[in-house]
Amino acid sequence: MKNIDKNIVMLGMVSFFTDMASAMINPILPIFVVSILQEGMDKLGIIVAAATFVSYALRLISGYISDKYGIVKPLVVSGYALSAISKPLVGFSGGYKSVAALRAFERLGKALRSAPKDLIIANYSVKKHSGRTFGFHKTLDIAGELGGTLLLFGILFLYGGGEEVIRNVFYLTLIPGLIGLFIVAFFVKDVKKDVKKSVKFNFTKRDIKTVKSLFFYFFFIFFVFNEAFFTIQAKSIGIATAVIPLLFVVSTGIQTLTSYTLGIWIDKIGTEKIMLFAYLSAVLALLFLYLKEPLFTWMAYGFLGLFSVSSLNANRSLIATRSDNKGSVYGIFYAGVALFGALGAYVCGLVWEYFDLNGALLFSIGGSVFVLILFLIKNFRYG
C-alpha cells in the first residue's frame, strides 16, 4: 500500500460512498420494476440497455474533453453531483419509462466522471504499479458496495420488502451520495498542470493497438447476463426478496477480498492471463445459473464477482500502461462497453421474455463460450 498516492485514497473514499448508494438500490431495482410496477422482462431489458448505453457511451466524450482541453476534475465533480441527485428520484417512478429515464440520467453522471477519474488515477500511479493502484481503488469502490448491500439487507430484514419500504430506500441514497460529492469537491486534487500541458489528442499506434485488444471483451459482455437478470433468476427459483441483497454481498465481498491481489497479479503475469481467468469465471457463473438451484445461484454470484473485478482491473491497467492518450482510450473502452452491453441486455431481455429463462441462458452461455474460444486461439496458440 506504500505506493498508493493520497489523492487516489481520497478518490477511493468518494467511490466508497457513491457505490454504497448504488448498492442500496441495485438488488431491488429489478424487483421494483417486475414485481411492483408489473413490467415484463423485455421492459427490464430496455431499462438496463438505456442505462448501460448512457453510462458508457458518453464516456468517450468526457475522455476526449479530458485529453483535448485538460478539463478533468470539473467533469468528475459534475458526474458525482448528477448521480447523487438522480438516484433518490427513482422512488417516485410509476412506470418503466420514468425508471429508464432516471436511470439514464443517473448513468449520465457516471459517464461524465469515469474516464476523467481513471485519468486522474493513472496520472497519480507509481510507474509499473498501475495494476495494484487500480486494484486498491477498486477495493474501496467494492467495499462501499458491500456496505450498501448489507445496509439494504438490514432494512429489508427489519421492515420487509413492501413497496413503501423499497421506495424509501431509494430516497435514503441521497445521504451517501452527498457525502461522496463533498469529498470529491474539496479533497481530491486535479491532474498535475504539467500533465495537462503535455497531453495532446493525437492517436498513436500504441493507442490503436490497445483499442483493438479490447474487442474480445466487448463481444464477451454482449452475451454475459447483466446483474439485473441474475437477480430475477434468483427470485424465479424461490430466493426471498429480503435475502437477495446477500447474494450481492457474496459478489461484492469476493471482489473486495481479491481486487488488490488481482491487481498485483496483473503487474506480475500480464493482463491476458487475468482476462482468461475473468472469462472462465463468467462462464462458470452462467453454468451455475442454468442449474437453477439456490446453492448454485449463490455460487454464480461469487463467480460473477470474480469476473467483474478481474476484467475491469485488467482492462483499466492495460490502458494505463499501453496507451498514450489515456483519457480518450478510456473513453473508447467505456463506449464499447456501452454499445455491446446495452445491445446484449436488450437482446437477452427479449429472448427471456419470448423463450423463457432457459432460452436466455443458453444464448448467453453459447455466445460467451464461443468468444472465449476465439480469445484462447488469439492469445495462447503458441502456448
Beta-carbon contacts of residue 25 (< 8 Å; ≥ 6 apart) = 87, 90, 152, 169, 170, 173
CATH class of 6-188+204-380: mainly alpha
Domain ranges of the chain: 6-188+204-380
How far, in Å, CA of 189 to CA of 191, rounded?
7
Query: Do residues 283 and 370 make contact, with C-beta atoms less than 8 angstroms apart?
Result: no
DSSP conformational letter for 371: H
How is residue 231 written as a grid cell?
A: 437477480
- What does the angle CA 110 – CA 31 – CA 362 come to, to the nearest 5 degrees? 85
In degrees and rounded to multiples of 5, residue 125 shows phi and psi of -85, 145
Residue 274: predicted pLDDT? 93
Amino acid at position 218, single letter: F
pLDDT one-digit tens code per residue, 119-131: 888 788 766 666 6
Other CB atoms within 10 Å distance of the CB of residue 105:
18
* Percent of the chain surpassing pLDDT 90: 34
Residues of the chain with pLDDT under 50: 195-199, 383
Residue 3: predicted pLDDT? 66
Beta-carbon contacts of residue 20 (< 8 Å; ≥ 6 apart) = 144, 145, 147, 148, 151, 176
Query: Do residues 47 and 248 make contact, with C-beta atoms less than 8 angstroms apart?
Result: no
What is the pTM for the complete model shown?
A: 0.73
DSSP, residue by residue, 217-269:
HHHHHHHSPPHHHHHHHHHHTT--TTTHHHHHHHHHHHHHHHHHHHHHHHHHH
Query: What torsion do the CA atoms of 244, 228, 348, 142 make, to the nearest 10 degrees?
Result: -110
DSSP, residue by residue, 289-313:
HHH--HHHHHHHHHHHHHHHHHHHH
Residue 59: predicted pLDDT? 67
Residue 310: predicted pLDDT? 92
